[in-house]
Structure 1
Amino acid sequence: MKHRNFKTVPKMIFGRGAFDQLDDVLMVERKSADDYVVFLVDEIHKDKPLAGRIPQQDGDMLIWLDVTDEPKTKYVDALTEQVQAYAKAHKNGKDPVSVIGLGGGSSLDIGKAVALLLNNPGGAASYQGWDLIKNPAVHHVGIPTISGTGAEASRTTVLTGPDKKLGMNSDYTVFDQIIMDPDLIAGVPKNQWFYTGMDCYIHNVEALEGTYINEFARAFGEKSMALCHQVFLEDHPESDEKLMMASYMGGQSIAYSQVGACHALSYGLSYVLGYHHGIGNCIAFNVLEDFYPEGVATFRKMVAKHNIDLPKNIMKDVTEAQMEKMIRTSQGLAPLWDNVYGPSWKEKVTPELLRGLFSRM
């Protein structure tokens, strides 16, 4: 039996005020006068105090990201081309010494994807899958300003392409450095805070109850789950620090296990109806009490405690073509269903099963 040899983030800084050490981190990479850095930053921070704290130097690029929609392969390709055009015009075609993703899960995923594509030609859609990336990425740093997705810890960058929603899953995707500063996640709008945090909670439920579970994944998943309970059921005074660590540990748990039924359904919702990942997960998880009875019961307590108004009856105007596309998208995620049912999953994950679940949303 061969065990997975997976890569984790080699360098990380954690703590309030840690963002101020980004300049020190980048100075290690800046070795000559024409070295430059690309900052890819969620545009929500454009007119906020954080914008003034970005350690941008002469010659660096700062691009404000539009993450209204889930990241698309064509958007990542356009950003990569923008960086390459700048490099050709001003830097003799030289790559940046680092790419910084600053924001939520979408911004982190875009940072990872651009860093990969600068060294891997052909466009993002050609790398959607497992271990298709051939060359190491440009040095890249992830700095979350909202916690829950685990994007800071994971080996994937989830993108919506012309044919599917699927990550660029690779050891080269993993960040070289992350900076986790709990000060940066203060003041996130409540619904967004909840939906993104639930991505972490649902990761843990799916990993801990899946067929892929082992003691490595269980250790991280159980601790992450306990932290989620403290944040979403107990209103712990240090909830920002705890949520940030829950997100990271949930991402670590998934590295040696897998997500499950909720994420498979959520990918269908996102790809066809455009729901963001966090809210899509919540809509899907709410109908999965037959799969995860205890997890769904606790989730509903969290929803009630925080007065979250989950979208309901979202399928009322869905066409048959859209329904079939959602079913195909969800059914195609083999590793996720294998984690739910084991090798015989194809006998159980029928179009009828998926149609029934989607119809209840």
Structure 2
Amino acid sequence: MKFKNFPMVPRVIFGRGCFSQLQEILMPRRKNSEAPFIFLVDDVFESNQELISKIPLLFGDKIIFIPTDEEPKTEQVDVLVSKIREYTTQSPSGIVGIGGGTVMDLAKAVAIMLTSNGKAEEYQGWDLVTREAIYHVGIPTISGTGAEVSRTTVLTGPEKKLGINSDFTPFDQVVLDPELTNGVPRDQWFYTGMDCYIHCVESLNGTYLNAFSQSYGEKAEDLCDEVFYNGKLSKEETQDKLMMASWHGGMSIAYSQVGVAHAMSYGLSYLLGTKHGLGNCIVFNHLEEFYPEGVAKFKKMQERHEIELPKGLCANLSEEEFETMINVSMGMDPLWENAVGKNWKDTITRVKLRNLYEKM
């Protein structure tokens, strides 16, 4: 048996206020004064001068504000790469992503495509990237997606929603500063945190489970329980622990996979543009058949935090639209195999998925 030799993030800094050390971190990676750092920043911070003033701009460094109302798209990656190439004649010293999962995924994808030929959609899949990405840094400002540690960058393309999964995807440096999560809206905080919780449930109940994944998944689930279920933490403890839950949750699927909720939420996102965390919550809420204990606890956490999930998303869809969602979902072979086993197509039928989507 041949085991996969996965790369991990080689350098990480954690601590409240560690964002202030960014200049110290980046300086040794500067090629020269003509090779700028490009900062991709969630546009929610465009008017936040306190944060913007801490970004260590030198020489020709550039900030590009990223709209995050929609899930990241392959076309968006191509536009950003073209914009950066027009801006500088030299290859940038690096890409720095500051924001949530959307910005994390875009930063990883842009770093890859700056050294790759063609369009981003051509690299959606597993191990299609053959060239090392330029230096890239991830700085999450919300916790839960695990995008800061994962080897994928999930993108919606013209034909599918699928990640660029490769050894060149993970960040070279991650900055984990819990203070950056101040001001996250409550609903978004819950949906993104539940993305982490669902990672854990799907990994720990999957056929791919092994001691590596289990050790990280169990720790992440324990931290999610502390944050969302027990409810006895201070604000600072909540921020610190959820940021580490996100990290451990992302690590739990490095040697494993996610499952049913993610496979079906990709269909929602591709067709309806449903944000990833919210989509996972909407789907997971109906998956008692697959994850009875996990769904029961999810419903209690939802009630405890007074979260109302949207209903009727699929109420008025056409036959063609249902077929599109089902096609996207059924294209997630590794996710279904992890959830159900190698013979997953014997039980996961188009009719079954249609019935589940009709509940949402």
* Structure 2: runs of 5 or more not aligned: none
| Equivalence for 1:47 | 47
C-alpha distance 184-271 of structure 1, shift in aligned 2 (>3 A): same
| Equivalence for 2:66 | 65
| Equivalence for 2:142 | 146
Check the 8 A contact 2:144/2:195 in 1, yes or no: yes
Shift of 1:313: 1.9
Q: Which moved more, 1:312-321 or 1:10-19?
A: 312-321
* TM-score, normalised via structure 2 length: 0.98
Between the aligned partners of 1:32 and 1:325, the Cα distance in structure 2 is 48
Between the aligned partners of 1:33 and 1:232, the Cα distance in structure 2 is 46
Work out the percentage of aligned pairs sharing the same amino acid.
54
Between the aligned partners of 1:22 and 1:266, the Cα distance in structure 2 is 35
1:20-52 alpha-carbon deviations (Å, 9 max, x no partner): 111111101114222310000000001112112
Which one-letter code corresponds to 1:335 in the other structure? P
Which one-letter code corresponds to 1:71 in the other structure? P
Which one-letter code corresponds to 1:233 in the other structure? Y
Q: Which moved more, 1:32-41 or 1:295-304?
A: 32-41
Between the aligned partners of 2:314 and 2:109, the Cα distance in structure 1 is 32
Between the aligned partners of 1:234 and 1:57, the Cα distance in structure 2 is 45
Aligned residue pairs total 356
C-alpha distance 31-315 of structure 1, shift in aligned 2 (>3 A): closer
Matched, 1:244 2:243: yes
1:288-343 alpha-carbon deviations (Å, 9 max, x no partner): 00100000000001100111010112211111111010011101110000001111
| Equivalence for 1:81 | 82
Q: What SS is found at the alignment partner of 2:253?
A: helix
| Equivalence for 1:188 | 184
Which one-letter code corresponds to 1:343 in the other structure? K
Between the aligned partners of 2:52 and 2:228, the Cα distance in structure 1 is 29
The 5-angstrom pairing of residues 343-354 of structure 1 reads 343-354=342-353
Matched, 1:178 2:177: no
Between the aligned partners of 1:314 and 1:174, the Cα distance in structure 2 is 33
* TM-score, normalised via structure 1 length: 0.98
Between the aligned partners of 1:310 and 1:6, the Cα distance in structure 2 is 36
Shift of 1:58: 2.6
| Equivalence for 1:203 | 199
| Equivalence for 2:357 | 358
Between the aligned partners of 1:10 and 1:354, the Cα distance in structure 2 is 40
Which one-letter code corresponds to 2:130 in the other structure? K
Which one-letter code corresponds to 1:80 in the other structure? V
Counterpart of 2:109 (choices 106, 113, 126) is 113
| Structure 1 residue ranges, 4+ long, deviating more than 4 angstroms after superposition | none
Shift of 1:121: 1.2
Between the aligned partners of 1:35 and 1:94, the Cα distance in structure 2 is 6
| Equivalence for 2:29 | 29
Matched, 1:104 2:103: no
Between the aligned partners of 2:219 and 2:325, the Cα distance in structure 1 is 33
Between the aligned partners of 1:239 and 1:261, the Cα distance in structure 2 is 28
Between the aligned partners of 2:301 and 2:53, the Cα distance in structure 1 is 36
Counterpart of 1:156 (choices 138, 148, 152) is 152
Between the aligned partners of 2:12 and 2:185, the Cα distance in structure 1 is 26
| Equivalence for 1:12 | 12
